[in-house]
Amino acid sequence: MKTKADSVSYAFGADIGNSLKSIEIDYLKSDVIAKAISDVLKGEKSLLEEGQGRAVIQQAIMDVRAKKEAASRAEEDKFFAENAKVAGMKSTAEGIQYLVLSQTEGPKPKSDDEVTVHYKGTLLNGKQFDSSYDRKEPLKLSLGQVIKGWQIGIPLMSKGAKYKFFIPSRLAYGERATGEIPANSTLVFEVELLDIGADGTT
């Protein structure tokens, strides 16, 4: 850059460009964006009616989000269709798939019970996002306060059993990203049911 004005102007332009790139709208026209910026800086009349610009932006973002969600659902449906063919795979009416890694005879928790579990959670690509095993401390929780997939899956287990659950995004965090879990993610959990009841009384 030859001058301070050049550097500052370019920096602002790059910042705007990065913000627009993050939205992932693939049909934006850089020359039209440049004209809009120029019009605003020069105080010229907008080519869009008052309030129209915000509505156009919101609709474009909604369209991109809907497209990404549709692609995620299609990919997820394909995965579950193939996963159902795995030997020993079972399914619930709600759409959870699971493997019984070790089975026991004994009591099963109710949907509002407190339980103590060891677990490991991964994404479909194998990336681990959480593990009580790594923390070397089991987790005590109320089944009424966890994701729907756990509310459905854990009551299938007897105390001492270990299952592997494949939970569709709609029964996990859905469109909401949380921590290391992206939006619309299928989650895989290995869960070991250690105890039932607040004090392990069952």
Q: Are 2 and 9 in contact (CB under 8 A)?
A: no
Our answer to whether residue 163 is catalytic in this structure is no
Our answer to whether residue 33 is catalytic in this structure is no
List pLDDT tens digits, range 7-25: 999 999 999 999 999 888 8
Our answer to whether residue 147 is catalytic in this structure is yes
What number is the average pLDDT over the span 28-53?
Answer: 90
Determine which one of 33, 79, 80, 130 is catalytic.
130
What number is the average pLDDT over the span 142-147?
Answer: 94
Our answer to whether residue 173 is catalytic in this structure is yes
Determine which one of 166, 167, 189, 195 is catalytic.
189
**What topology does CATH give the domain 4-81?**
Helix Hairpins (1.10.287)
| Distance in angstroms (rounded) separating the CA atoms of residues 142 and 119 | 15
Model confidence, pTM: 0.77
Residue ranges covered by each domain of the chain: 4-81, 88-196
Our answer to whether residue 119 is catalytic in this structure is yes
**What topology does CATH give the domain 88-196?**
Chitinase A; domain 3 (3.10.50)
